[in-house]
Amino acid sequence: MAALDVDGDSLRELLRPLAYGPPSPRISTKLRRKFQRIVRKKAETIPVRVATLLEACKLLNRQPNSLEKLKLFRGRYPIPLAKPEIYKLMTHVINEGSVKGGRNPRGVYCNLDLSLHESVSKLIHSLGSHGNRRIGKDNVPETYVSAIIARLMIKAGLVPGKKTRGQYFHHLPKRILDDPDLSRYHMSATLTEEGSPSLRLTEGSKPYISIGYSRSIDVTDSLPSEYIHNMEQGIKYPIRPLPNEIIVGLILLPFPQLDDEIRILGDYDIKVHEYPSSLYKSKRDRVTTEWCVGINGVDAVTKFIDGIGFLPGSNVETRYNLIWSLYQKYKDKAVNHEDVDQIRKELGIT
């Protein structure tokens, strides 16, 4: 059975008589210790299995529906699919996380920016759950999503499993597309988590500012098998040298989610440059193509910042503010060698 994230104080009050009350032949030593372990937890919210709550109700001669009066449940169950927090959380998971489906779904969000973990944790908390955090692979912080919230996102339209073979081949949920606030949030989070601002510096020319992001889709089944066989694993192959028929085939492949995102940017009159940039063969012989989306030039960048913007307080927003200040300082000047060195130094580029 699934676990519910419930109010810690209310759960401790409920289970304390079973954990530390008089001995009873109905409560085995093993079961009493189980209740004691739960009561000793000091967390504000505690995950507890539905079976454990039903077992406690039976031992206390209480009806399960009486638990509502204890204010045990911090969230509302079932959680209505209309809640915007579901779709905001979904955006974060699509960008920098994953959800495994099946009978016991679970999700995880991975990012080096702790401010984004705080945003994700607040969204999870608003849905009546909590996100445990730990340091994962390559020292990247991870926030875990409970089975109930993972199942909720799937029901709301998230496609579980490999994104390059699943989610990206589907349109964004209709709620995101139809709600201007959620559309804006999706692109703000996407450019924050998947994107990066940059300042192109060429000696003798004025600086050029841009923002870009990329997404990859699995194209294994659309490429000639002999071509895949000749590719080396772990190598990125630039698109330009590829045979023309392969390039045309890649461009014609559907990419519904990216199409939706470009359409949202278009609603803000932001013109973008999208193109396939490379092919990559994994250790499992799956091939993905990376699509890049560029918001190029000061006019397009300004429209993005004014209409959508990065998520406040994020590392990417801080980086953009630095790049923008340097752009403003040098925008009317054809930079020389010393200028380029100074700008690169201030940007921390060696």
On whether residue 177 sits in a domain, the answer given is no
Q: In this structure, are 62 and 34 located in the same domain? A: yes
Q: In this structure, are 31 and 133 located in the same domain? A: no
pLDDT recorded at residue 75: 56
CA distance 236 to 194: 19
Q: In this structure, are 254 and 321 located in the same domain? A: yes
Type of residue at 272: V
Q: In this structure, are 201 and 278 located in the same domain? A: yes
On whether residue 58 sits in a domain, the answer given is yes
Domain of 298? 195-346
Q: In this structure, are 227 and 313 located in the same domain? A: yes
Number of Cα atoms under 13 Å in the Cβ half of residue 214:
12
Q: In this structure, are 152 and 9 located in the same domain? A: no
Tokens of 121: 């944790």
Tokens of 72: 């045990």
Q: In this structure, are 113 and 229 located in the same domain? A: no
On whether residue 299 sits in a domain, the answer given is yes
Q: In this structure, are 36 and 114 located in the same domain? A: no
Model confidence, pTM: 0.79
pLDDT recorded at residue 1: 43
Q: In this structure, are 211 and 312 located in the same domain? A: yes
pLDDT mean for each 10 residues of the chain (350 residues): 73 92 90 93 84 87 76 64 93 96 87 96 89 89 91 92 92 96 98 97 97 96 91 92 87 93 98 95 94 97 98 98 97 96 93
Q: Which residues of 266-285 are buried (b: 16+ CB within 10 A; e: fewer)?
A: eeeebebebebebbbbeeee
On whether residue 185 sits in a domain, the answer given is no
On whether residue 77 sits in a domain, the answer given is no
CA distance 205 to 334: 4
The CATH number given to whatever domain includes residue 91 is: 3.10.28.10
Q: In this structure, are 124 and 211 located in the same domain? A: no
Q: Are 104 and 145 in contact (CB under 8 A)?
A: no
Q: In this structure, are 156 and 231 located in the same domain? A: no
On whether residue 50 sits in a domain, the answer given is yes
Domains in the chain, number: 3
Q: In this structure, are 244 and 326 located in the same domain? A: yes
| 3-state DSSP assignment of residue 78 | coil
